[in-house]
Amino acid sequence: MDAFILQILNGLDKGSAYALIALGLTLIFGTLGVVNFAHGALFMIGAFVAVTVSRILSISMVVEDPTKTDFLGNPAKISTPYVEEWFGPTIGAGILDWAVPISIIIAIPIMIVIGVIMERGLIQHFYKRPHADQILVTFGLAIVLQEVIKYFYGANPIPTPAPAAFIGSFDFGAMIGFDPNTIIYPYWRLVYFAFSAIIIAVVFAFLQFTTFGMVVRAGMADRETVGLLGINIDKRFTMMFGLAAAVAGLAGVMYAPINSPNYHMGMDFLVLSFIVVVVGGMGSLGGAVLAGFLLGILESFASMSAVIELIPGINQVIIYLVAIIILLTRPRGLLGRKGVMED
Amino acid sequence: MGILEVKGVGKRFGGLQALGDVNLSVAERSVHAIIGPNGAGKSTLLNCLVGKLIPDTGSVLFDGQSVLGRSPHEINQMGISRVFQTPEIFGDLTVMENMMIPCFAKRDGAFEMNAIASVLSQRDIAAKAEEMLVEMNMADKRDMHASAMSRGDKRRLEIGMCLAQEPRLLLLDEPTAGMARADTNNTIDLLKQIQDERHITIAIIEHDMHVVFSLAERITVLAQGTPLVEDTPDNIKGHPKVREAYLGESTAAA
Amino acid sequence: MLGLTRKDTTILLIVTVLALGAPFLLNPFPISSPLAQFNAGYPDLMQRFVIFGIFAIGFNILFGLTGYLSFGHAAFLGVGSYAGVWMFKLLGMNVIPAILASMIVAGLFSVLIGYISLRRSGIYFSILTLAFAQMSFSLAYSVLTPITGGETGLQLSLNDPRILGQSVTPDGNIPVPSLFGLEMGENTRLVISNWVFTFNVGYYFCAVILILAFYLSIRIFRSPFGLMLRAIKTNQTRLNYTGLNPKPYTLAAFVISGMYAGLAGGLMVAMDPLAGAERMFWTASGEVVLMAILGGAGTLIGPILGAGFIKYMENIVSKINETILHNWFAFLPDGLEDIVVSMVYPFIGKGWHLTLGILFMLVVIFLPGGLVEGGQRIGRIFRRKKKKETGDGSGATTVNPAE
Amino acid sequence: MSKKITRRGVLAVTAGAGAALAMPTIFDGSVWADGHSGFTNAPQGDTVTLGFNVPQTGPYADEGADELRAYELAVEHLNGGGDGGMMSTFSSKKLQGNGILGKKVEYVTGDTQTKSDAARASAKSMIEKDGAVMVTGGSSSGVAVAVQALCQEAGIIFMAGLTHSNDTTGKDKRANGFRHFFNSYMSGAALAPVLAANYGTDRKAYHLTADYNWGYTTEEAVRSSTEAMGWETVNAVKTPLASTDFSSYIAPVLNSGADVLVLNHYGGNMVNSLTNAVQFGLRDKSINNKNFEIIVPLYSRLMAKGAGANVKGIFGSTNWHWSLQDEGSKAFVKSFGTKYGFPPSQAAHTCYVQAMLYADAVERAGSFNPCAVVEALEGFEFDGMGNGPTLYRAEDHQCFKDVLVVKGKENPDSEFDLLEIVEVTPAEKVTYAADHPQFAGGQLGTCNPGA
C-alpha cells in the first residue's frame, strides 16, 4: 500500500514534467499547426538559463593566496563571488543559494523573446509547408541549439542545486499514519509538482478567461473565420509561441536541480513528449496534461521491482506499450478531436 | 423492385435524429433525385448508402444484396460509384494517371506485382484510360496536374473516373455546388448524355432546382430525416406539402 | 531498356556509373594534398554510402510514394543485422544466406509491425512505428542481451558452431564474411602517381545490389502498384470509392521497404560482422527520414543523395581536427591563421553535428524539394540560357514527373 | 584489410599517362605498406600514424576531449617535445623522444559517438583511409569491445581507452586488444575491504544497475565481493539506460530494509541517480540503527563534477587520480596541467599510458608488426606509470596494478579537487585467475597481423 502511494507520488512528479513540456508542445501545435521538434531544446535552454544565472551570480574576484598551492605547485587562486563581496558573506551566499528560483524571473522574458524570435524568424515561414518539412527544420534547429549550448557549456552535466532550504525530504508517510521513512519525498520535487500545477492552471485560466485567450481558442478551432473578423490572429499566435517557449523554459529551470542539466536533455525528452501529446490527443491541452500524469504514474509503477520481476523489461517499454495500446483503442488519443493530423 | 431499396433506415447522432425511418426505392436505369432543405439528412442518407456511416436501424439493399456492414471499397465493388460535393480526385497525379486508377481497379481489388505482367497490363490500362479521356473530352489535358484544373474540369474528371468503373448506380452529391452557370449547364448536359448513352441508374442529391428538374425522373423530398413525398417532378412542383416545407423558401431565394 | 522509359534509363545509368566509378569519383584529391581529407573513396565509407542508399531507397518507397512517415524504420535494419550475424554464427560465413535471412526476418517483422501500425494514419502511424522501434531498441539493449549481445553488440566468436563453415581459421582467427570464398575485405589498389584508388570486393558486391535495388525501385515507382501508392498519398477517400482498399497496398509498400531495410542491415553485417542495438535507436530512424527528405522525398535518386550527404558529414567532417585546420591555413600569417582556425573550428570535428543541423535548416528553407530540387534549379538555369540563345521561349507549364 | 600475404603481388599496368604521372600500379594491401612488411598498414616513410578514436559528440564528449588532450600530449612527448612527461619515470627506457622506431608520430582523430557502429566506422576509416597502425581510445565498454573485434579482424593493435566491463578482457577478449584500465571485478575486490572497515560487515545492500552489459558485470562483481565479507543483497533492480529520472527506483529503497545503496551506473546515469538519491535524503536516514550509505563502484572526476556536492563522502573506486604522489603521476600531472591548465582525468591518464606502452612495445619489439607488439606487451612488467608495478597479463591482456578507492571530498580546495584517495589497493589484492567465472566464455585467439 505504502509502495503504491509512493509510486503515485512519484508518477505525479514525473508526470508534471511531462505535462509541462507536452503542454507547450500541444499549444504550438494546436494554435499554429506546427510540429515543433525544437521544443525539447527550449526545455533544455530553460535549464541552462538557471545554469547561466548561477554562473553569473558566482562571478568572482580572484586573489592569489600564497599560503596555499594548486595542483601544479603554483600559488592557489582564491575566488570570492562578487555578490558575497558586495552584500556580505551571509546575504551573498543566500543569493547564490537561491539562484534557481531567481532564474525563474529572468527566464520568463528570455524564453518569451527566444520563442518570438523563433516564430518570427523561422517557424512562420513553415505554416503552409508539409509537416515533414516542419519536422526537419525544427529538428535541424534543435541540433543547432544543443550544439551551441554544448560549445559553451561542454557535454558534462552541470550541477545546479536547489536552495538549501529545499534539500532533504518530507516524511509523507508519517503524516498519514504510516511508519516513518515509508513514504518520503524530496521537498524540491514537491515544489516542482506544485509549481507545475500552478503553471498549468495559469495557462488554462489565461486561455479561458482573457479575451486574448478566447481569440486564440477561436483561432485554434477555425483560423480563417477569426481572421475574417479583422483580428490579427498571427500576432496573437506569435505570442502563443512565446508563451509555449516560456512554459517549456520554466519547466527546464525548475528541473535543473532534479537532474544536472546537460546539452542533450532536450532530446532525451523529445520523443517522450511527443508520445505524451499524441496519447493525450493532438492539439488537446487537457489531453496533454492528463496523458503526462497518466504516463508518469504508469512509468513509476512499471519500475517497481515486483513488477519488473513479473515482466522483465517492462520498465524499458511501458511508455511505448501504453502509447500503442491507446492509439489502437482510442485512435485520436485520450481527448483528441477527430481528423487532426491524420494525413 | 428497384435496384436500390432503402427500408426503414434510421440514424442518430447523440441527441439528434438525423434520419428516421427512411424508405426509398430507386428504379433501375432511372434518374432519381433526393431534395430537401439543409439538415434534412440528405448527406447522412448518402453516407449510409456508401458505407461511410452505418445506420442504426433498417436495411439498404443494392440489387438484392445488403450493403450494410461493408466498407466503402466493397460497396463500390458491388457497382456503386460516388461523386462528391467537392470533387475528390488525385490532385497530385496527372489527369491521365487519375483516369488510370479506376481503369486499373479490378473489381476484386487485386494488384499486379509481377514486373512483366504489370507492364503489359499497364498498356491495356493506359489504352482504356485514354479512351475514357477522349470520351470525357479531356484528352488535351492528359498531362496536366489534376489539382491545377478548373472546378468544372475536376468534376468532369471525377465523373469520368466513376464511369470508367462501369458502375450500375452513380450517386451524385450536389454535383454542381459552387459552380458557375456555364459549368452547371455543361454538367447537366454531361449527365444527360451519360444517361442516354450508358443507361445507368443515377441518384442525385441536389440543391439547385434547375438541375433537379432538368434531370430527374422521380424526386424524393426529405425533411427532418424522413421522406415527405416521392413523385414525378411535375407532381412535386405542385405539391402543397413540399411548397410549404421546402420549395416556398427555396424558389423565393432563387 | 529493361522496360524503362528513356528518362528512367538515364537515371539508372547515372546511378550505375556513380556506383561503379565511386572509387575514382570519391577520390579526387591526391593523397599528398591537404584536401585529401575530403576524399571519401575508402571501402568502409563507400560501403556505407551504398548501404544507406539502399536503406533510404526502401524508405522512400513507403514515405515518398504513400506519404506514410515511418519513424521506426531502423528497427528493420537492426533486426536484419541480427539475423545476418546469427546466420554467420550458426551457418557459415557466406554472405548470401545471411542477407537472405536478413531480408526474410526484416520482412516478417515488418508484416507484424505494419499490420498493426497501418490501422492508423498520419502522425498516429508515425508514433506507432516509433514506439515499436523504441521498444525493440530498449529490449535489444537490455533484457534480450543473450540474443542481441546488448550494449557490446552481437558479434562473432571463435566458439560459434558455423555448421557449414569453420569455427576458426587455420591461423586461429574468426573467419571473415565471403561470397563463396571471395572475401568481402579483399582490396585491390590502383596507384597512379599520387592518387590511390581502392577497389573493394565488398563494396562492389554492395554496389551491384544497390543498382538492382534501384532498378527495382524505378520499376515499383512506374508500375500500376506505384501509381496506386501515389494515389494513396493524394486521396485515400477517392481510392476507397474507387473500390480499392488502400491497406494491402500500403502494407505491401511497408513490407517492401522493411525488406529493403533488412537488406541494408544484412549488407552492413556482411561488410562488418557486428550488429549493435544503437542502429535501432530512434535517431537512426530519424536519420533515414532526414536522408529521404533532404535528398528529395518521392524522387527516385534523392534518397541516395541524402544518404550520401549525411554519411559524408558524419565520416569526413567529424574527422577534421584542429591540427589539420592549422595545416590548411598554414599559408596565412600566424595571427590570421589562428583567427580563421578558431572561427572554423566549432563547425568541424566534434562540431560536425552543428554543421549538419545548419545544413538541414538551409536545405529545408531554401530547397523545399531537397537536393534534387537544387539540381533541378541549376539545370533550369542552364536550360533557360540555352532557350534564350535559341530564342525558344515557350514557357510551357508541363508537369515534371518526379524522378 | 585483405587477409593473406600470398595474395600480395605487384603488377604494373601500362598506361598512356603523362610524364608527370608515375606508372600506375595495382597491388593488394595497403599503400602505406612497404612491399614485404607482411602486416596491415606497415608504416612507410618516416612517419607512423596512430588513430585516436574518442567520443567527440554525445554525453561522453568531455571525457573524449580529455582523452584527446592526453593523446596529443603523448604524441608531443614521443616526438621529443614538451618535458617528456612519464617518459622519464617509465621503467622501460626504450623511448628516446625521437618518435617510434625513429619514425615521427602522426595521428588522426575520429568520433565514436559512444555507439558501436559509429566507433567502428570511424576506426575503419582510420585503418582504410589514413593507414593507422594502431587504434586507441573510447569511453565505454560497448565501443571498446566493438572496436577491439574490428582491430583483430583488420590486423592492427587496439589499446583500449576507458572500459570497465569485465567482458573487454573476459568473454570478448581479443589477441590484438589490450586494456590498461581496471575492471568491474577489481572495483569490487578493492572496495569490499574498505567498505567493511568503514561500514561494518553486517549491511544490507540494495543495487540499482544500469540495464546493459557493463552494469551486469559491475553488479555481479560488487555483489560477490561484498557478499563474501558478510553483506546481504536485499534487492537488485535494473534501470533502463535511457532513464533520466531515477526517483521511482530510489523511492522504494528506504522501505526495503536496506541500509546501503549501490549505484552501478556510469556517466549521465550515475550523475542523475546519485543526485536523485541524495535528494531523497537517503544519507540523512538511519536504518537498522546504521547510517544509510551510498556507494558508486566506478567513479570518475568528470562525473563527480556533474554530481556536484552530492558526491561528498561517497565511496567508489577509480583507476587513477591526479592527486597521487608517485613520481609518474606527478610528472604526468605536471606536463598535462602546464599544457592545458587543469589536471588530467583518469581517462586521460589511461589513454596517455596506453599510447606510451604501445610506443614502448614497438621499440622493444623492433617492429610495428602487431604480432611482435603483442608478444612484447604480453607479460610485460613495468613501473613508473602512476599505478605502481604493473603487469600486462599474457592470458587476457588485462593490466594488473593498484586500484584506488576514493571518497567524495567534504571540503574541496578547487573545482578539480573532488575526490580523495582513501586507499591504494595493491595489485595482488585485485588479481584474479585468468579463468575466473566472471571472465569466462571468451577466447583470446591468436594475433592477427592482417595483410
- Return the residue in A28, A122, A127, A143 with the most chain C beta carbons within 10 A, the one to mutate for interface testing: A143
Q: Is the pLDDT of residue B105 over 80?
A: no
Q: Give D236-283 as a DSSP string.
A: EEEE-TT-S--HHHHTTTGGGT-SEEEEE--HHHHHHHHHHHHHTTGG
- Structural domain count of chain D: 2
Highest mean pLDDT among B225-239, C375-389, D421-435: D421-435
Least confident of A308-312, B156-160, D105-109: A308-312
3-state secondary structure at position B199: coil
What residue spans in chain B does CATH classification 3.40.50.300 cover? Answer: 1-79+167-254
Q: What number of other Cβ atoms are within 10 A of residue C199's Cβ?
A: 18
Predicted confidence band at A330 (pLDDT cuts at 50, 70, 90)? confident
Most confident of B30-34, C350-354, D9-13: B30-34
Q: For residue C242, which residues of chain B lie inside 8 Å, CB to CB?
A: 73, 76, 81, 101-102, 105, 161, 165
Contact residues on chain D for C189, CB-CB shorter than 8 A:
26-31
When CB atoms are compared, the residue of A160, A188, A268 closest to D279 is A188
Residue D308 to residue A161, Cβ atoms within 8 A: yes
Contact flag A155-D60 (C-beta cutoff 8 Å): yes
Any idea what the Cα angle at residue A24 is, between residues A31 and A125, rounded to 5°? 50
Contact A320, C132 (CB under 8 A): yes
How many CB atoms lie under 10 A from the CB of residue A86? 10
The chains in contact with chain B, meaning 3 or more Cβ pairs closer than 8 Å, are C
The mean pLDDT value for C134-142 works out to 91
* Judgement on whether residues D150 and D189 belong to the same structural domain of the protein: no
- Closest Cα in chain C, distance from residue A12 (Å): 23
**Cell numbers linked to B93:** 497525379
Alpha-carbon gap, residue B228 to B245, rounded angstroms: 9
pLDDT of D26 strictly over 60: no
Whether D275 and D367 map to the same domain: the answer is: no
Q: What is the CATH number of the domain that holds D232?
A: 3.40.50.2300
At a CB cut-off of 8 Å and minimum separation 6, what does A303 contact?
A7, A315, D237, D239, D248, D249
Do D26 and C321 lie within an 8 Å CB cutoff? no
Comparing CA positions, the residue from D306, D330, D310, D301 lying closest to residue D406 is D301
Tracing cell 600500379 back to the chain, one arrives at: D25
- Dist CA D85 CA D329 (whole Å): 9
Residues with Cβ within 8 Å of residue A232, at least 6 apart in sequence = none
- Residue B8's SS3 state is strand
Residue D363 in any domain: the answer is yes
- Looking at residues B49-70, what average pLDDT do you find? 88
Per-residue pLDDT, D364: 94
Residue B213: its H or E element: helix B209-215
Better-scored residue on pLDDT, D360 or B190:
D360
B117/C contact by beta carbon, under 8 A: no
**Given this model, what pLDDT does residue A59 score?**
84
Q: How confident is the model at residue B251 (pLDDT cuts 50, 70, 90)?
A: very low
- Fold of the domain spanning B1-79+167-254: Rossmann fold (3.40.50)
Say whether pLDDT at B254 is over 60.
no
**Which residue in the set C127, C142, C357 is minimally distant from A147, CB to CB?**
C357
| pLDDT (0 to 100) of residue C387 | 65
pLDDT in the model for residue D384:
92
The answer, for A311 touching chain C at a CB cutoff of 8 Å, is: no
- Residue D278 resides in a domain: yes
Q: Report the 3 state secondary structure along D333-368.
A: HHHHHHHHCCCCCHHHHHHHHHHHHHHHHHHHHCCC
CA C316 – CA A337 distance, rounded (Å):
47
- Asked if B132 and B103 count as a contact pair (C-beta separation under 8 A), the reply is yes
**A91 part of a folded domain:** no
CB–CB contact D142 C188 (8 Å): no
Check residue A31 and give its pLDDT.
Answer: 76
**Which of A11, A155, A181 minimises the CB distance to D254?**
A181
Quick check: is D27 in a domain? no
Confirm if C71 and C127 have CB atoms less than 8 A apart.
Answer: yes
CB B94 within 8 A of CB B130: no
pLDDT above 70 (res C347): yes
Answer yes or no: do D290 and D311 share one domain. yes
pLDDT above 50: residue D18: no
Secondary structure (3-state) at B19: strand
Within this chain, do residues D209 and D266 fall inside the same structural domain, yes or no? yes
Instruction: Pick the range with the lowest mean pLDDT from A24-28, C136-140, D198-202.
Output: A24-28
Does the pLDDT value for residue D243 go beyond 90? no
> Can you give the C-alpha Rg of chain B in angstroms?
19
pLDDT at D32: 41
The pLDDT confidence band at residue C396, using thresholds 50, 70 and 90, is: very low
Confidence label for D17 from pLDDT (cuts 50, 70 and 90): very low
A-contacting chains (≥3 CB pairs under 8 Å): C, D
Which strands sit side by side in the sheet containing D232-239, from one edge to the other? D232-239, D204-210, D260-264, D293-298, D315-318, D403-408, D419-425
Provide the pLDDT for residue A294: 92
Length of chain A: 343
Q: How confident is the model at residue C151 (pLDDT cuts 50, 70, 90)?
A: confident
State how beta strands D260-264 and D204-210 pair: parallel
Q: What is the mean pLDDT of chain D?
A: 87
Is C189 in the D-facing interface, judged by CB distances under 8 Å? Answer: yes
- Contact at CB, C242 and B73, closer than 8 angstroms: yes
- D 14-73 residues inside an 8 A Cβ radius of C: 15, 17, 20-22, 24-31, 56-57, 61, 64-65, 68
Q: Is the pLDDT of residue D20 over 50?
A: no
Last residue of a domain, one of D318, D334, D361: D318
Asked which of D291, D318, D345 is the last residue of a domain, the reply is D318
CB atoms A6 and D338 under 8 Å: no
Q: What is the pLDDT of residues A3-20, one digit of tens each?
A: 888 888 889 988 998 999
Side by side, which strands form the sheet with B169-173?
B80-83, B169-173, B201-205, B31-35, B218-223, B226-231
The model's confidence at residue A339, banded by pLDDT at 50, 70 and 90, is low
Query: Between C and D, how many CB-CB pairs are < 8 A?
Result: 174
Range of the domain at A246: 2-57+108-329
Element (H, E) at C382: helix C371-390
Comparing alpha-carbon positions, the chain B residue that sits nearest to C4 is B119
> For A336, which residue in chain C has the nearest alpha carbon?
C124
Largest CA distance in chain D: 90
Mean pLDDT of chain A: 85
Please indicate if any CB of chain C lies within 8 Å of the CB of B165: yes
Task: Choose from C217, C241, C245 for mutation: most chain B CBs within 10 A.
Answer: C241
Cβ–Cβ gap D125/C193 under 8 Å: no
Q: D11 has which bridge partners?
A: D26
Q: Do C130 and A271 touch (CB under 8 A)?
A: yes
Q: Min CA distance, A168 vs chain D (Å)?
A: 5
Q: Which helix (H) or strand (E) holds D400?
A: strand D399-400
Give C238 to chain A, closest Cα distance, Å: 14
CB A37 within 8 A of CB A139: yes
Does residue D22 have a pLDDT over 60? no
Q: Do D255 and A268 touch (CB under 8 A)?
A: no
Mean pLDDT for chain C? 87
Q: Which of C3, C219, C240 sits opposite B72 (nearest CB)?
A: C240
> Is the pLDDT reported for residue D393 higher than 60?
yes
Cα separation, A23 vs A332, in Å, equals: 17
pLDDT of residue D37: 66
Q: What does the pLDDT read at residue C392?
A: 42
Delineate the domains of chain C, giving CATH numbers in brackets. 6-281 (1.10.3470)
Average pLDDT over every residue of B61-67: 89
Between C264 and C364, the more confident residue is C264
Q: Residue D11's pLDDT is what?
A: 33
Res D30: pLDDT = 43
pLDDT at A340: 57
Q: Give the Cα separation of C274 and A112 in Å (integer).
A: 47
In sign, the C-alpha dihedral spanning C147, C151, C152, C153 is positive
Separation in Å, CA of C367 to nearest CA in chain B: 19
* Cβ-proximal residues to D331 (8 Å cutoff; 6+ apart), any chain: D83, D84, D85, D86, D88, D89
- Per-residue pLDDT at A86: 81
Whether residues C289 and A135 touch (CB distance < 8 A) is answered with: yes
pLDDT at residue number C213: 95
Given CB atoms, is B115 within the 8 Å cutoff of chain C?
A: yes
Residue with cell 527550449: A42
Q: What are the C-alpha distances in Å from B115 to residues B122, B202, B219, C225, C344?
A: 10, 38, 50, 10, 51
The confidence score (pLDDT) of residue A117 equals: 93
Strand-pairing partners, residue D238, are D209
The predicted structure's pLDDT at residue A267: 86
Contact (CB, 8 A) for D409 and D418 = yes
CB of C97 within 8 Å of a chain A CB? The answer is: no
Q: Residue C234: which of B73, B77, B93 has the nearest Cβ?
A: B93
How far is residue B215 from each of residues A175, B84, B184, C136, measured CA to CA in Å?
81, 18, 12, 60
> Are A263 and A133 within 8 A, CB to CB?
no
In this structure, of B47-56, B157-166, D21-30, D57-66, the range with the lowest mean pLDDT score is D21-30
Number of domains in chain A: 1
D115–C278 CB contact, under 8 Å: yes
Q: What is the mean pLDDT of residues B100-111?
A: 65
Residue-wise pLDDT tens digits, C334-346: 888 888 888 888 8
Q: Please, which residues have CB within 8 angstroms of residue A15's CB and are 6 or more apart in sequence?
A: A292, A293, A294, A295, A296, A297
**pLDDT (tens digit, 9 = 90+) per residue, C65-123?**
998 999 999 999 999 999 999 999 999 999 999 999 999 999 999 999 999 999 988 88
Structural domain including D189 reads 185-318
Of A11, A70, A154, the CB nearest to D62: A154
**Cβ-defined contact of B92 to C242 (cutoff 8 Å):** no
Question: Measured between CB atoms, does A341 come within 8 Å of chain C?
Answer: yes
pLDDT for the residue numbered C390: 54
**Strand D293-298 relative to strand C274-275, pairing:** unpaired
**Among the listed residues D192, D210, D177, D214, the one whose alpha carbon sits nearest the alpha carbon of residue D357:** D177
Picking from D300, D318, D336, the residue at the C-terminal end of a domain is: D318
Going across the sheet that includes D157-160, the strands are: D104-111, D47-54, D134-137, D157-160, D177-179
For chain A positions 244-303, those within 8 Å of chain D (CB to CB) are 257-260, 262, 264-265, 268-269, 299-300, 303
Longest Cα pair distance anywhere in chain B, in angstroms?
65
A-chain residues near D302 (CB < 8 A): 156
Contact C198 D121 (CB under 8 A): no
Is B193 exposed, middle or buried (CB count within 10 Å of its CB: 0-12, 13-18, 19+)? exposed
Report pLDDT for C36: 82
Residues from chain C that touch D213, judged by Cβ atoms under 8 A, are 145, 150-152
- DSSP summary character for residue B251: H
Contact state of C131 with A320 under an 8 Å Cβ cutoff: yes
A87-116: per-residue pLDDT in tens? Answer: 877 888 888 888 888 899 999 999 999 999
Q: Does B91 touch chain C (CB under 8 A)?
A: yes
The string of pLDDT tens digits covering residues B174-206 is 888 777 888 888 888 888 888 888 888 999 988
CA distance C231 to C227: 6
Taken in order D52, D57, D61, D65, is the CA torsion positive or negative?
A: positive
Q: Residues D75, D146: one domain?
A: yes
Least confident of A262-266, B109-113, B140-144, D298-302: B109-113
C94 sits in which H/E element: none
Is C116 in CB contact (< 8 Å) with chain A?
A: yes
Contact C319 D110 (CB under 8 A): yes
CA distance A70 to A188: 35
CA distance B175 to D366: 91
pLDDT-derived band at D329, boundaries 50, 70, 90:
very high
pLDDT tops 70 at residue D241: yes
D327, D314: one domain = no
| Res A309: pLDDT | 84
Structural domain includes residue A343: no
Within 13 Å and on the Cβ side, how many CA atoms surround B16? 8
Please check whether residue A336 lies inside any domain of the structure: no
